[in-house]
């Protein structure tokens, strides 16, 4: 073999090793990205379960419409400055959805995964909170809670694209009893005793 042929062969082998290394690096980066996405969504779900947010969600659902009839309560939302979340628990909910919208907009949380979990909740609470947000924007501008708005718009688009959810088409569905009909475990299945695991 000539020196030129050996040099060319060494270059080809080097190129092959570099290509294999690049493929391995891309796979590793994908693995890190997936791990980061999983950690991000687990953190979102954990934050969602926090008692303060859950209490604020209940407040918005049950009490806010009645409180919004109070002129003083509404006026507190139009004033520029701090809105006390103790008096206005809806701010806790607006802030959480706004933070989630920021994460989605900046692609720090996977949009499909987040919306698979929270699309209906997002649009539902946007509808409940839109009057409050309108008052907040009156003297603060349209940027107030714009990432919550972005999230709600993304949720509406997602729902339009997935009107029946994203249940895998080839996966078997579980039978459900008729609404209002009590049922026990399916035939052939024994009822579990609390605190005792099945063998």
The pLDDT tens digits for 7-22 are 777 777 877 776 777 7
pLDDT reported for residue 196 = 43
- 29 and 95 co-located in one domain: no
**Does residue 65 contact residue 130 with C-beta atoms inside 8 Å?**
no
**Lowest pLDDT segment from 98-102, 164-168, 173-177, 195-199:** 195-199
pLDDT tens-digit readout, 1-10: 677 777 777 7
Residue 199 lies in a domain: no
- 36 and 15 co-located in one domain: yes
What band does 199 get if pLDDT is binned at 50, 70 and 90?
very low
* pLDDT of 195 strictly over 80: no
- Within 63-132, strands assigned E span none
- 94 and 112 co-located in one domain: yes
pLDDT reported for residue 185 = 62
Could you list the residue range(s) of the whole structural domain that residue 15 is in?
1-49
pLDDT reported for residue 33 = 61
- 69 and 40 co-located in one domain: no
pLDDT tens-digit readout, 80-124: 988 999 999 999 999 999 999 999 999 988 899 899 999 999 999
What average pLDDT does the chain have?
84
Residue 97 lies in a domain: yes
**Does residue 122 contact residue 152 with C-beta atoms inside 8 Å?**
yes
* pLDDT of 194 strictly over 50: no
Q: How far is 37 from 112, CA to CA, in rounded Å?
A: 11
Would you say the pTM of this structure is higher than 0.75?
no
pLDDT tens-digit readout, 134-152: 999 999 999 999 999 999 9
- 38 and 116 co-located in one domain: no
- 75 and 156 co-located in one domain: yes
pLDDT reported for residue 38 = 66
- 68 and 39 co-located in one domain: no
Provide CB contacts within 8 A for 12, sequence distance 6+: none
Q: How far is 48 from 89, CA to CA, in rounded Å?
A: 15
Residue 82 lies in a domain: yes
Residue 184 lies in a domain: no
Residue 196 lies in a domain: no
Residue 180 lies in a domain: no
pLDDT reported for residue 37 = 67
- 147 and 55 co-located in one domain: yes
**Lowest pLDDT segment from 45-49, 55-59, 61-65, 89-93:** 45-49
- 125 and 60 co-located in one domain: yes
Residue 186 lies in a domain: no
pLDDT reported for residue 193 = 44
Residue 168 lies in a domain: no
């Amino acid at each position: 073999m000539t020196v030129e042929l050996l040099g060319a062969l060494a270059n080809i082998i080097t190129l092959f090793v570099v290509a294999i290394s690049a493929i391995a690096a891309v796979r590793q980066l994908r693995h890190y990205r997936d791990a980061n996405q999983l950690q991000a969504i687990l953190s979102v779900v954990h934050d969602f379960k926090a008692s303060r947010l859950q209490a604020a969600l209940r407040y918005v659902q049950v009490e806010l419409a009645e409180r919004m009839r109070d002129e003083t309560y509404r006026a507190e939302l139009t004033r520029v400055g701090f809105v006390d979340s103790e008096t206005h628990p809806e701010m806790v909910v607006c802030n959480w959805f706004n933070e989630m919208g920021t994460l989605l907009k900046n692609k720090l949380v996977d949009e499909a995964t987040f919306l698979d979990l929270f699309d209906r909740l997002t649009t539902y609470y946007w509808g409940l909170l839109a009057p409050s947000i309108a008052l907040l924007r009156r003297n603060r501008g349209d940027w107030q809670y714009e990432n919550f708005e972005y999230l709600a718009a993304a949720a509406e688009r997602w729902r339009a694209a997935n009107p029946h959810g994203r249940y895998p088409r080839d996966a078997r569905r579980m039978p459900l009893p008729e609404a209002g009909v009590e049922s026990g475990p399916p035939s052939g299945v024994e009822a579990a005793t609390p605190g005792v695991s099945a063998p």
